[in-house]
């Protein structure tokens, strides 16, 4: 009879506690699927005295994560503490160097030190599994690393942050401002007290860097990701998107181009007919464009204790089965370096909203500046100012919102044209520019 897999868990927060419960309640199913039992034999956390709704009788308590990682009584070290550095980094390295397998949900650590840890896993023969680090219960890591190992990937993109998707959904559906929706997201627990990591796009960037490595065989480089958040999006932009057949999402996009791998995070207009546009609220989604196959879209809960724990336990089950996939789908020495692709070289369609001064010649000036940069327009929408409540007439001289949708063009051309328009003083305020991602 094969001995049970002995698991040690560092971190007993929402996810860690749920992992302990799942392994206990799903013990029979795990044994049947893995061909051996799975048992939690040791744990550690910042506070042993903290009250937890867990029965930890019969489970050893390690004095520190490092002590647990070096414990010869465990076969699999599960890191659920979080953080891009210590103590998680040293503990995982110690576990790998002692020949143990490691399971983690730590996206920050993988994005920053994933290559270093993958080398240790390869050298010492253990697994390094991190499905829960991107998309929680959505099995996108296994899909890219194993399910599509025989398919070339041209583009991977998705909604990778539920907080931002929730805010944009509420803004669209209820016409609320970004600030109002953010405050509500904080009240409901979808956003942190300091929400900048989410709403400024950095959480998405970490996840995208991991996906790009798996998709294109590159070394993880979060510094190679262009990042822009959602705080500039207004209800006016969302109403315009609706009328034009689009929806605004914060997307992480990694795409193979003739100039290299482009990695970017920014608010994006996507056609309402696309699968990704249907994903609302806190749900996440990832679309993979592979050679010779239609796009594959994976949708599901991208965060939360239960969803994240389910992915962690699935990774533990793979360890129990004896699966030892290369952490990034290829040997580390086969991964290529990547550099940050300048966004000014990006090519695509653009949504541009201008507040045009209501003077003769304004439209002609704008058209001339766009033509000078060889920018072709797919559509132009001019909105008249709200009628004056007193006399029903438009307020004379008030700036007029003008919305432009361009055909594919270079980003630097768009900004050169807009800088010229601003110098001409035919618009007020800063133009709003949102990139468009086609199907």
Indicate which residues carry an active-site annotation: 207
Pair of tokens at residue 433: 């520019």
Backbone angles phi, psi at 423, to 5 degrees: -65, -30
User: Which residues lie below 8 Å from residue 420, measured CB to CB, with a gap of 6+?
Assistant: 369, 372
Residue 67 burial class via C-beta count within 10 angstroms: exposed 0-12, middle 13-18, buried 19 and up: middle
Neighbouring CB atoms inside 10 A of 293's CB total: 11
Which residues on adjacent β-strands are paired with residue 434? 351
Residue 258 burial class via C-beta count within 10 angstroms: exposed 0-12, middle 13-18, buried 19 and up: exposed
In Å, how far are 41, 111, 323 from 316, measured between CA atoms?
14, 21, 10
Pair of tokens at residue 44: 């550690």
Torsion of CA 328, 331, 332, 333, to 10 degrees: -150
Dist. CA 131–CA 323, nearest whole Å:
14
Dist. CA 72–CA 41, nearest whole Å:
11
Query: Quick one: residue 347, left, alpha or beta (phi over 0 = left, psi -120 to 50 = alpha)?
Result: beta
Buried/exposed code over 401-432 (b: 16+ C-beta within 10 A; e: otherwise) = bbbbbbeebbbebbbbbbebbbeeebbeeebb
Reply yes or no: is the peptide bond before residue 87 cis, omega within 30 of 0.
Answer: yes
Output DSSP code: residue 218.
B
Backbone angles phi, psi at 406, to 5 degrees: -95, 155
Dist. CA 62–CA 207, nearest whole Å:
31
Alpha helix segments (H runs only) across 267-410: 305-321, 362-372
Strands 400-406 and 377-382 come out as antiparallel
Instruction: Determine contact, residues 96/121, Cβ cutoff 8 Å.
Output: yes
| Residue matched to tokens 């994006």 | 268
**Opening angle at CA 195, ends 189 and 201, nearest 5:** 120
Instruction: Determine contact, residues 107/206, Cβ cutoff 8 Å.
Output: yes
């Amino acid at each position: 009879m094969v001995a049970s897999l002995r698991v040690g868990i560092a971190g007993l927060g929402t996810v860690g506690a749920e992992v302990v419960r799942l392994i206990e309640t799903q013990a029979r199913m795990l044994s049947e699927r893995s061909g051996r039992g799975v048992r939690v034999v040791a744990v550690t956390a910042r506070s042993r005295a903290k009250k937890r709704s867990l029965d930890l009788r019969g489970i050893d308590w390690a004095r520190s994560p490092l002590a647990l990682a070096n414990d010869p009584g465990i076969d699999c070290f599960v890191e659920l503490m979080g953080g891009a550095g210590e103590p998680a980094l040293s503990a995982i390295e110690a576990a790998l160097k002692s020949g143990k397998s490691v399971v983690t949900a730590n996206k920050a650590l993988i994005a920053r030190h994933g290559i270093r840890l993958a080398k240790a896993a390869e050298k010492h023969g253990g697994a390094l599994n991190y499905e829960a680090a991107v998309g929680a219960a959505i099995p996108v890591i296994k899909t890219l690393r194993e399910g599509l190992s025989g398919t070339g990937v041209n583009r991977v993109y998705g909604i990778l942050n539920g907080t931002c998707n929730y805010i944009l959904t509420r803004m669209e559906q209820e016409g609320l401002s970004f600030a109002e929706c953010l405050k509500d997201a904080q009240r409901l627990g979808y956003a942190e007290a300091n929400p900048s990591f989410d709403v400024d796009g950095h959480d998405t960037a970490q996840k995208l860097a991991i996906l790009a490595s798996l998709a294109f065989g590159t070394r993880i480089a979060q510094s190679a990701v262009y990042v822009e958040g959602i705080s500039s999006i207004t209800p006016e932009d969302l109403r315009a998107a609706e009328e034009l057949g689009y929806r605004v999402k914060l997307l992480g996009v990694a795409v193979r181009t003739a100039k290299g791998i482009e990695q970017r995070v920014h608010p994006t207009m996507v056609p309402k007919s696309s699968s990704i546009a249907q994903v609302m609220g806190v749900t996440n989604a990832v679309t993979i464009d592979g050679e010779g196959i239609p796009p594959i879209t994976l949708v599901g809960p991208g965060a939360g204790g239960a969803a994240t724990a389910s992915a962690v336990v699935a990774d533990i089950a793979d360890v129990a089965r004896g699966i030892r996939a290369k952490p990034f789908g290829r040997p580390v020495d086969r991964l290529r370096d990547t550099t940050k692709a300048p966004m000014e070289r990006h090519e695509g369609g653009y949504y541009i909203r201008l507040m045009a001064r209501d003077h003769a010649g304004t439209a002609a000036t704008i058209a001339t500046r766009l033509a000078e940069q060889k920018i072709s327009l797919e559509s132009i929408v001019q909105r008249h100012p709200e009628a004056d409540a007193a006399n029903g007439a438009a307020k004379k001289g008030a700036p007029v919102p003008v919305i432009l949708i361009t055909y594919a063009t270079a980003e630097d051309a768009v900004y050169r044209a807009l800088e010229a328009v601003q110098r001409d003083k035919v618009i007020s305020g800063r133009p709003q520019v949102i990139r468009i991602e086609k199907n």
